[in-house]
Amino acid sequence: MCDKGRKILHVDLDAFFVSVEQVRNPELWGRPVVVGGEPGARGVVACASYEARAYGIYAGMPLTRAYRLCPHAIFLKGSFPRYRDASARFIAILADFTPQLEPTGLDEAYLDLTGFEPIYGPTSEAALSMKQRIKGEIGVTASIGIGPSKLVAKIASDLAKPDGLVEVAPGEERLFLAPLAIARLPCVGSKTEQLLKRLGVTTVGELADLSAPLLRARLGSMGDALYRYARGIDERGVETPLAAKSISRETTFIGDTLDYPFLKATLRYLSERVGAELRREGKRTRCITLKLRYADFDTITRSRTLKWAINADQAIFDVGVALLGRALWQRRQLVRLIGIGVSSLIGEERQLSLLDSSMECWERLDRVIDRLRHRYGFTAIQRGQTLPLKDAFPTFFELYGCN
């Protein structure tokens, strides 16, 4: 994933623990507040308000030293369950924007909003509504960075603090990074910083002037990483922890449609795709979800939990069709996108003895077809239920943009 047009966001709550305390007790707003423990206690500062930071207090500092720096600060012990609860609500808000979400701490996450402009408008608008919802529903402020890579988004959110939004356009990465101190880069600790300083490098721009062989000679594989980071190159994708726990396929139609046989045939095709991956991963599912996006972009999902875990295409399709029938009965409107997903996955070997014989037949057939498709390609075999798509074959993939 080195697509220049990516829209990666890094969202990070400001002075998280303190902010949660300030929401509980508004008298703490605008005051130097330290969460970590009583001033006399052993232990370190977990979080300092920005007002306390003005006195030189920072996370990780011994509480006794923090007290010396600012005796009139308010010292609180804090409550982890409160922060865990706020964190869960924070992540739930982000998940409303996209499932492409990678939480990296209690109060920070990456999101990939690439391709969402038709839905949300400019990415910065989506980021602003995210900030608004976080403030409105949790009461705390967030800082957001937007960029073509995780690296740039993370640094942008740091620079946006507190309560800000910084967007770096594609192609501007190097310019954006050049004036910054090298310590802003993720893998630059104090040792690397000293080493680079001895080479006369204090800013990312100066680092970008060093050649790849020189950096490699001095810093080994980290030198390679720094060479790329100094140019804003970071190909890491947003890794959703849920991705491993669910499998889905969806497709957007070129023209909105309400042609039931065609919708069913597409659903069959997508079910076969999902089923094939499920079996490849050696998994079964107990929850099937249908997704529909209507012509007006309104998107619904409908799920059904099964008694037994299955992985046969037919079983996935049958549930999908039942959910589709009900959804269309409730709302007859042109459909723009259809998708099917499976979750609540368990290992394939489990529950096999509980399956009835017809399901076993379906599974045997799937295994034969999987082998043939593995050898000759997915479109080598077409099931009867996908015949309404035949006009689209063999260019089905291009035509329907299956993703």
Instruction: Indicate if 108 belongs to the active site.
Output: yes
* Closest to ligand DCP by CB, 12 or 370: 12
Residue 118 binds ligand DCP, judged by CB under 6 A: no
- By the criterion CB under 5 A, which residues form the site for Ca ion? 12-13, 16, 107
Whole-angstrom distance, CA of residue 10 vs CA of residue 164: 12
Judge whether 168 and 156 are in contact, CB under 8 Å. yes
Task: Give min distance, CB of 42 to ligand DCP, in A.
Answer: 15
Task: Give min distance, CB of 61 to ligand DCP, in A.
Answer: 9
Judge whether 168 and 159 are in contact, CB under 8 Å. no
Neighbours of 297 (CB within 10 A): 10
* Closest to ligand DCP by CB, 59 or 199: 59
Report the b/e string of 151-162 with b at 16+ CB within 10 A. Answer: bbbbbbbeebbe
Residue 75 binds ligand DCP, judged by CB under 6 A: no
The single residue of 102, 108, 173, 272 carrying the catalytic annotation is: 108
Residue 59 binds ligand DCP, judged by CB under 6 A: yes
**Measuring CA to CA, which residue among 38, 39, 71 is closest to residue 52?**
71
Task: Give min distance, CB of 12 to Ca ion, in A.
Answer: 4
Whole-angstrom distance, CA of residue 124 vs CA of residue 166: 9
Residue 21 binds ligand DCP, judged by CB under 6 A: no
* Closest to ligand DCP by CB, 158 or 193: 158
Task: Write out the binding residues for ligand DCP, residues 79-108 only, by CB under 6 A.
Answer: 107-108
Region binding ligand DCP by CB under 6 A among candidate stretches 8-16, 240-248, 305-313, 369-377:
8-16
Binding partner of residue 86 among Ca ion, ligand DCP, none, CB cut-off 5 to 8 Å per kind? none
- Give the contacts of 231 (CB within 8 A, at least 6 positions apart): 173, 174, 208
* Closest to ligand DCP by CB, 43 or 401: 43
Residue 15 binds ligand DCP, judged by CB under 6 A: yes
Binding partner of residue 47 among ligand DCP, Ca ion, none, CB cut-off 5 to 8 Å per kind? ligand DCP
Question: What count of Cα atoms within 13 Å lies in the side-chain half-sphere of residue 355?
Answer: 21
Kind of pairing, strands 101-105 and 108-112? antiparallel
Residue 60 binds ligand DCP, judged by CB under 6 A: yes
Binding partner of residue 60 among ligand DCP, Ca ion, none, CB cut-off 5 to 8 Å per kind? ligand DCP
Residue 13 binds ligand DCP, judged by CB under 6 A: yes
Whole-angstrom distance, CA of residue 280 vs CA of residue 275: 8
Query: Percentages helix, strand, coil for the chain, rounded to the nearest 5?
Result: 50, 20, 30
Residue 173 binds ligand DCP, judged by CB under 6 A: no
Whole-angstrom distance, CA of residue 13 vs CA of residue 109: 10
For 31-132, strand residue ranges (E) read 33-35, 47-48, 74-76, 101-105, 108-112
Binding partner of residue 75 among Ca ion, ligand DCP, none, CB cut-off 5 to 8 Å per kind? none
Task: Give min distance, CB of 147 to ligand DCP, in A.
Answer: 18
Tokens 């943009």 correspond to what residue? 401
Neighbours of 184 (CB within 10 A): 16
* Closest to ligand DCP by CB, 188 or 276: 188
Catalytic residues, by residue number, are: 108
Q: Which residues bind ligand DCP (CB under 6 A)?
A: 12-17, 46-47, 59-60, 107-108, 161-162
